[in-house]
Amino acid sequence: MFKNIENYKLDIDNSFKENYKLYNNSLNKKVGNISFRVLPPSDVSFYQELNLCNYNFDIDNDIKKYTNDLINLLDKSYSERSEIDDNMIPAVFPILGIGDYSAFVAGNIIFQPETSWGEHVLKNIDDWKNLPPLGTSPWYKKFLNISEELIKKSYKQGIPYMRGFFSPLDLAHALRGEDIYYDFYDEPIKLHELLNFCADATIKFAEDIYALVEKYYKNTKYGMWYTKNQINMSEDIACMISGDTYREFCRPHTQRVINHFGTGYMHCHSRAMYLVKEICDLDNVVHLWLATDPNQTRPIDNIEQLVKDSNSVVVAIDCERFEEIEENYEKMKNGNFSICLPVSSVEEGIEMVNRFNKLVSSK
């Protein structure tokens, strides 16, 4: 089970304070903020250790077993890195692959040990009109049950609950499959209707999850850190379309979801560096996690362009060597960045954080 959140960081209040400052400055268009995180193996090993095929999520006892196993793995991970004083904030979150990101609307989840897929349930673009009402699908209820069980086991220790969502386009793609790429040309009006439905679905699902979070966490110090006035969304499928298409089809619907909650914490891939400007130009986006794709341009090699395109939004990127941070530090100060450096051990992580702090104080 979890320990109190204070046990997982050297100074948890300061960690929250630094993060708050970073995002508040981003919202107020103040640049020059560079935040740092290391990624020891223990930060990701729990994804491999949790075998999703081991659980039957239909049964209460099984959900209890799943949530216990997950929390134990997260506790182990956070405990191992508790001496690392970087910007990472511990959180509790369901790990179900990505199938649940669309199955909450309709369809089953196909589980594999480390991931999952949702079914493409919309054979025709209009089929969303025939789906059962939002909130009535089996996985909608299951997901809320799993989340409540996780929250019950975490809120007293002050571990914030975190949940990301598909953007309207990502959700539409998950429900519709690859046919959606033809819809841009064949059924533009109906595609807008589908994306509008997906925005509604995301808003309702997130509202129901957030209500659950508020029920348990409202009197905790940091429990609503990842949910209050914000929405986390991926724009993965946008990497397959042009900036013009994004503006025409995605922007209005993604913006509506962000507006509903207040601020947007977005995710995209370096495959689509050209989309950074489009996403960061959305109103009230404060964070963009730009994951580095293999065989593609690396964000760390394009800091000047990212500064120009990011409009003071915090761009979270990774690098391979600490020297890359040193080489790009002055350029990064013209924007807002959160840098992640993979390390081979906790000891190396501690060393890199010290090195980063020295770099900051020397500038």
Partner 1 sequence: MILEDISTLLQKGKAKEVKVLVQDALDQGYEAKIILNEGLINGMSVIGQKFRKNEVFVPEVLVAARAMNFGLEILRPALVLQGNKCKGKALICTVQGDLHDIGKNLVKMMIEGKGVEVIDLGVDASPEAVEEAIKQHKPNVLCLSALLTTTMMNQKVIINHLENKGLRSSVKIMVGGAPLTEKFAKEIGADAYAPDAATASDIALKLIEG
Q: Which residues bind partner 1 (CB under 8 A)?
A: 110, 112, 114-115, 117, 178, 181-182, 184-185, 240-242, 245, 271, 274, 293-295
Please name which of 166, 169, 198 lies closest in space to residue 181, comparing C-alpha atoms: 169
Q: Which residue, chain included where needed, has tokens 């007293």? A: 156
Shortest separation between residue 115's beta carbon and partner 1, angstroms: 8
Q: Which residue, chain included where needed, has tokens 């708050």? A: 20
Beta carbon nearer to partner 1, 25 or 305: 305
Shortest separation between residue 195's beta carbon and partner 1, angstroms: 14
Shortest separation between residue 318's beta carbon and partner 1, angstroms: 15
Shortest separation between residue 48's beta carbon and partner 1, angstroms: 9
Residue 35 forms beta bridges with which residues? 338
Shortest separation between residue 189's beta carbon and partner 1, angstroms: 16
Beta carbon nearer to partner 1, 22 or 174: 174
Beta carbon nearer to partner 1, 171 or 231: 171
Label residue 321 exposed, middle or buried (CB < 10 Å: 0-12, 13-18, 19+): exposed
**274 vs 221: CA distance, rounded Å:** 39
**110 vs 345: CA distance, rounded Å:** 34
Beta carbon nearer to partner 1, 258 or 306: 306
**28 vs 49: CA distance, rounded Å:** 41
Shortest separation between residue 329's beta carbon and partner 1, angstroms: 29
Q: Strands, DSSP E only, in the chain?
A: 33-39, 109-111, 116-118, 164-166, 230-234, 263-269, 285-291, 314-318, 336-342
Shortest separation between residue 209's beta carbon and partner 1, angstroms: 26
Beta carbon nearer to partner 1, 281 or 293: 293
Beta carbon nearer to partner 1, 191 or 339: 191
Beta carbon nearer to partner 1, 48 or 56: 48
Dihedral sign of CA atoms 23, 26, 32, 36 in order: positive
Label residue 53 exposed, middle or buried (CB < 10 Å: 0-12, 13-18, 19+): exposed
Which distant-in-sequence residues (6+ apart) come within 8 Å of 27 by Cβ? 263, 284, 286
